[in-house]
């Protein structure tokens, strides 16, 4: 008697750990596959999503295609929230993306319905082999995707094998019978499962496997399609928590996008809960025929697809209403948030995991830095005829340096997270090069301003001729800098020859200015003590010219912000 009790306990533990372990393998495989697909796809997903324009049908198609490729509606939803937060997408566009994402996510259940248990280890070995042998990052990502695909089905197979004994347990079958006959209870069970697991694909996979277990008669499903549909509706409700969590602390439109996802699934569950049995009959009629345990997995997948297709068709013409609802739930707040000049205006650390949106924000912040330097150069040029406003220029230099440091730290954090593709890593490295030259320009502007100011206070003023010559040199630098930054931002190298000409002009001006200064000193028109300061200013101007040439060289090396800012609307 004692031995039987011990065996029963061991069997229970084996089932629990088998189910939890299989679920863990499934979720790990699903997440790994999604991440690898995102890396392999690179910016293609951004291009797919950018085809939206103002057409909601294209938005739905883009969302469905993206989710079908990434095998994760959560990834697409979080991506849409990130794009809205970064200003790359409007709220109606994001809502149409989410409608499509709900269709795309049904592909996972459709794939699971295929019986490929005999080929699981083939996928795992093939994926491992490709990842192990190949050196190309994109090919390695494809290998990891195949490997993860095999793991996903290994998890399903593990869960299925440990669930079989449950079908013969009278206690468990009685409990399932109650859930199957009370739809609201089924919705609650599905919601709770997804809230815990944080993956509707995982809970639907569990549902498909469980429903495939035969009841006491050995032919019909232990739960049946009518019992599985309410749990399926609950799974769809539970998955909205991921979108809500992703929107915490982000912009109002990002929160509204997450709320739209909730409204979609909640309204669908409320509508379908009244028609569970008729809907089950409809799905059975259009699905493959055969023993219920053999075909119910496909029926559940079809029910999932049918639910999301129906709700999408209902909501497409009502996107305007969805926008009004979410605007009402998450209203605008009139309180103004004061942002310090040196504080990043665009950077959002919550988007680090979404390199496309994060790099867009980093590029916008870098442009802000470049505009500060342009203002400083204009200030230095004015200072050559008027008293130098050294305090303003010093403050702008401090602001620029702090912003520059914040952007560099932001990009470094993306490197450490390992979210960048090889191409994105190359472009972000180029951005750091650009930031270095921008920072050097700011530092040199400050040095020139302080140099001029210190001698003004000592009453060792430069002559009008010297001021005029310096002003002309700074004007050339300003023109070079504007052209270099325009090339960096636009990705066009039309200014390279012009900048080289201006660099030669700068060298000519430098030589003439040194000679003119020596002549003024000889004629006692200029204080000889200003020679060192004057030469230092000329040296700093020459260094700024070198930085401008560095910037245009960077643009010629195909490093620019166009790839990050192209979709800004």
Question: Can you give the pLDDT at residue 569?
Answer: 44
Nearest to 72 by CA among 38, 113, 116, 22: 38
Residue appearing with tokens 């390279």: 496
pLDDT tens for the chain, 569 residues: list them: 555 556 666 667 777 777 778 778 877 877 777 677 666 665 566 566 655 545 778 888 888 887 777 666 666 776 777 677 667 777 888 888 888 888 887 887 787 777 776 778 888 899 899 888 887 777 888 888 888 888 877 877 777 676 666 555 565 556 666 676 788 888 888 888 777 766 677 778 778 877 887 766 667 777 888 888 998 888 888 877 766 776 776 667 778 878 888 898 899 999 998 998 899 999 998 888 888 888 888 999 899 999 999 999 999 888 889 989 988 888 876 544 444 456 788 887 777 877 877 888 888 889 889 999 998 888 887 544 455 577 888 888 888 999 999 999 998 888 887 777 777 788 888 888 899 999 999 999 888 888 777 666 566 666 777 778 888 888 888 888 888 888 888 777 666 777 778 888 888 888 888 888 788 777 777 777 778 887 888 888 888 888 888 888 887 776 777 766 655 54
Q: Answer yes or no: are the C-beta atoms of 436 and 368 closer than 8 Å.
A: no
CB 413 within 8 A of CB 347: no
Residue range 478-512, pLDDT digits in tens = 888 888 888 888 777 666 777 778 888 888 888 88
Cβ contacts of 246 within 8 Å, gap of 6 or more: 77, 78, 81, 82, 254, 258, 350
pTM (two decimals): 0.67
The pLDDT, as a whole number, for residue 335 is 45
Q: Which of 365, 329, 369, 373 is nearest to 346 (CA)?
A: 365
Are residues 423 and 564 in contact, defined by beta-carbon separation less than 8 angstroms? no
Q: Could you give the CA distance from residue 30 to residue 201 in angstroms, rounded to a whole number?
A: 8
The b/e string for 507-541 (b: 16+ C-beta within 10 A; e otherwise) is eebbeebeeebeebbeeeebbeebeebbeebbebb
At residue 436, the pLDDT reads: 92
The confidence score (pLDDT) of residue 186 equals 83
DSSP string, 331-348: ----PPPP--TTS-SS--
| 326 membership: H or E segment, kind and range | helix 319-329
d(CA 469, CA 449) in angstroms, rounded, equals 16
Whether 427 contacts 502, CB under 8 Å: no
The Cα–Cα gap between 428 and 363 comes to: 9
- Neighbour tally for 463: CB within 10 Å: 15
Domain with CATH 1.20.58.220 in the chain: 349-565
Are the beta carbons of 390 and 450 closer than 8 angstroms?
Answer: yes
Contact yes or no for 537/459 (Cβ under 8 A): no
The CA–CA distances, whole Å, from 524 to 92, 527, 536 equal 72, 7, 21
CA distances from 358 to 113, 292, 350 (A): 37, 48, 9
Cα→Cα distances 174→165, 221, 543, Å: 14, 14, 82
Residue 384 confidence (pLDDT): 45
CATH 1.20.58.220 matches 349-565: yes
DSSP secondary structure code for residue 288 in this structure: P
Best CA proximity match to 221, nearest among 273, 271, 283, 292:
292
Instruction: Report pLDDT for 279.
Output: 92
DSSP track, 424-473: HHHHHHHHHHHHHHHHHHHHHHHHHHHHHHHHHHTT-PPPHHHHHHHHHH
Average pLDDT, the chain: 78
**What is the tens place of the pLDDT at every residue in 243-300?**
677 677 666 777 887 888 889 889 999 999 899 889 999 999 888 888 888 888 899 9
What gap in Å lies between CA 338 and CA 64, rounded to an integer? 39
Do 551 and 437 touch, CB atoms closer than 8 A?
A: yes
Q: List the one residue out of 112, 151, 119, 187 whose CA is nearest residue 31.
A: 151
- Detail the DSSP E strand segments found in 113-189: none
Handedness of CA 89, 95, 98, 99 (dihedral sign): negative
147 by DSSP, 3-state: which?
helix
The gap from C-alpha 99 to its chain's centroid, in whole angstroms, comes to: 19
Structure tokens of 91?
């709220």
SS3 state of residue 221: strand
């Amino acid at each position: 008697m004692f031995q039987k009790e011990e065996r029963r306990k061991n069997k229970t533990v084996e089932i629990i750990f088998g189910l939890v372990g299989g679920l863990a393998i499934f979720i790990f495989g699903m997440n790994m596959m999604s991440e690898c697909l995102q890396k392999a796809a690179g910016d293609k997903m951004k291009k797919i999503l950018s085809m939206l324009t103002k057409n909601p049908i294209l938005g739905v198609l883009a969302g469905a295609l993206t989710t079908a490729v990434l095998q994760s509606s959560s990834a697409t939803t979080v991506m849409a929230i990130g794009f809205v937060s970064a200003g790359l997408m409007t709220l109606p566009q994001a809502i149409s993306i989410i409608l499509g994402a709900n269709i795309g996510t049904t592909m996972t259940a459709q794939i699971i319905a295929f019986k490929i248990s005999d080929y699981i280890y083939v996928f795992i070995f093939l994926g491992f082999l490709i990842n192990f042998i190949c050196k190309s990052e994109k090919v390695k990502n494809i290998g990891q995707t195949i490997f993860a695909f095999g793991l996903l089905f290994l998890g399903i197979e593990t869960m299925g094998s440990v669930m079989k004994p449950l079908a013969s347990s009278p206690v468990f079958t009685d409990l399932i019978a109650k859930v199957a006959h009370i739809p609201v209870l089924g919705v609650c069970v599905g919601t709770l499962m997804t809230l815990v697991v944080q993956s509707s694909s995982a809970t639907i996979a569990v549902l498909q496997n469980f429903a495939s277990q035969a009841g006491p008669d050995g032919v019909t499903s232990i739960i049946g399609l009518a019992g599985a549909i309410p749990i399926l509706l609950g799974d769809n409700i539970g998955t909205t928590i991921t979108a809500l969590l992703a929107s915490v602390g982000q912009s109002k439109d990002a929160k509204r996008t997450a709320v739209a996802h909730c409204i979609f699934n909640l309204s669908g569950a409320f509508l379908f809960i009244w028609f569970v049995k008729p809907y089950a009959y409809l799905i059975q009629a259009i699905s493959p025929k055969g023993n219920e345990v053999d075909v119910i997995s496909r029926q559940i997948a079809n029910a999932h697809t049918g639910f999301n297709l129906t709700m999408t068709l209902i909501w497409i013409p009502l996107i305007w209403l969805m926008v009004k609802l979410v605007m009402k739930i998450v209203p605008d707040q009139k309180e103004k948030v004061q942002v310090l000049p040196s504080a990043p205006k665009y950077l959002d650390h919550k988007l680090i995991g979404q390199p496309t949106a994060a790099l867009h924000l980093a590029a916008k912040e870098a442009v802000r830095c470049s505009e500060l330097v342009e203002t400083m150069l204009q200030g230095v040029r004015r200072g050559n005829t008027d008293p130098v406003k050294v305090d303003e220029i010093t403050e702008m230099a401090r602001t620029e340096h702090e912003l520059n440091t914040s952007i560099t730290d932001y990009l470094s954090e993306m490197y450490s997270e390992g979210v960048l593709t090889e191409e994105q890593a190359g472009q972000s490295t180029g951005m750091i090069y650009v930031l270095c030259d921008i920072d050097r320009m700011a530092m040199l502007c400050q040095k020139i301003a302080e140099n001029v100011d210190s001698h003004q206070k000592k009453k060792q003023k430069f002559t009008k001729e010297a001021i005029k010559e310096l002003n002309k040199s700074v004007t050339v630098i300003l023109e070079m800098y504007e052209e270099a930054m325009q090339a960096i931002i636009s990705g066009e190298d039309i200014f390279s020859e012009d900048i080289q000409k201006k660099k030669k002009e700068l060298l000519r001006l430098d030589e003439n200015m040194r000679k003119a200064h020596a002549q003024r000193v000889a004629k006692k028109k200029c204080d000889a003590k200003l020679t060192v300061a004057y030469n230092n200013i000329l040296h700093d101007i020459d260094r700024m010219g070198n930085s401008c040439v560095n910037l245009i060289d960077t643009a010629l090396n195909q490093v620019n912000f166009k790839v990050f800012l192209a979709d800004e609307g």
